[in-house]
Amino acid sequence: MYIVAINGSSKKEGNTSFLLNKGLEQVRLMGGKTDIIHTSEVLKSMPVPFCTVCSSPCQGICAKGTLLEDALNMLRKADGLLIGSPVYFGSVTGQLKAFWDKTRCLRGEKKLLNTVGGVVTVGASRFGGQEGTLKTIQDMMLVQGMTIVGGGQKEYDCGHYGVAAQRPAVEDKNAQERIMIMAKRVYEVSQATKDLRL
C-alpha cells in the first residue's frame, strides 16, 4: 500500500507535520510505502498559487513544471491519504484549500475515487475548532469520491471523526496514539478496497 500525507500547514516542521509523520511511521511498520506533500512548498513553486479555473474541465495545465505536477502524480498512485491542517479561524488553512482546489483534474480523472482518507487537525486549545476543521476536510474528500475513515480501529475502539490534537503536538500523547490508530485503519481499509480504485 502507498499512503501519502498532505500537510496543510504553512510550517514544514510544525505540529501538523509532526503528527502526520507519526502516522506515516506506523504505515511503514505495517509494510507500506509513504510520502508527504507540504502544501506551502507546492504553492510557492507556482506563479498563481490558487485555482483560477483556467480550463474546464480541468486539464492540470497549471501544474506543468511545478511541484504540483509531482504532487498530483503521487496522489494518482495513492491507496490512502492522511490529510492534516492546523485550525485557522475555525477551519482549514488557506494553503490546504488552495492546494485541494488545484486537484480538480484528479476529480475529472476519478483518480481519488475510493482512495481511503483520514484526517488530523491541531488547535491552539483543547476545544479550538478541531472537529469543524475535520469535517471541512472530510467534505473536501467526499467531493473527490474518497472513502473516509475516522480515528478508530478494530484493536482499539471505533474512534471519532479523526484526530483532534492540541498544540504543542509533541506533548499531546492522546493525539500521537490516535494518529497511529487511524493510520492502521487507513492502511487496512486501503488493502481491503484496492480493487475498487482505478
Tens of pLDDT, residue by residue over 131-155, are 999 999 999 999 999 999 999 999 9
DSSP string, 55-89: SSS---GGGTTSHHHHHHHHHHH-SEEEEEEE-BT
Tens of pLDDT, residue by residue over 156-197, are 999 999 999 999 999 999 999 999 999 999 999 999 999 999
- Residue 57: asked if its preceding bond is cis (omega within 30°), the reply is yes
Phi, psi of 124 (to 5 degrees): -75, -25
- The grid coordinates of residue 15 equal 505540529
* CB-count exposure of residue 74 (10 Å: 0-12, 13-18, 19+): middle
Look up cell 500521537; give the residue: 176
Homologous superfamily (CATH) of 2-192 is Flavodoxin domain (3.40.50.360)
Element (H, E) at 100: helix 94-101
Provide the CB-side half-sphere exposure for 87 (13 A, CA): 23
* pTM of the predicted protein model: 0.97
Tens of pLDDT, residue by residue over 64-121, are 999 999 999 999 999 999 999 999 999 999 999 999 999 999 999 999 999 999 999 9
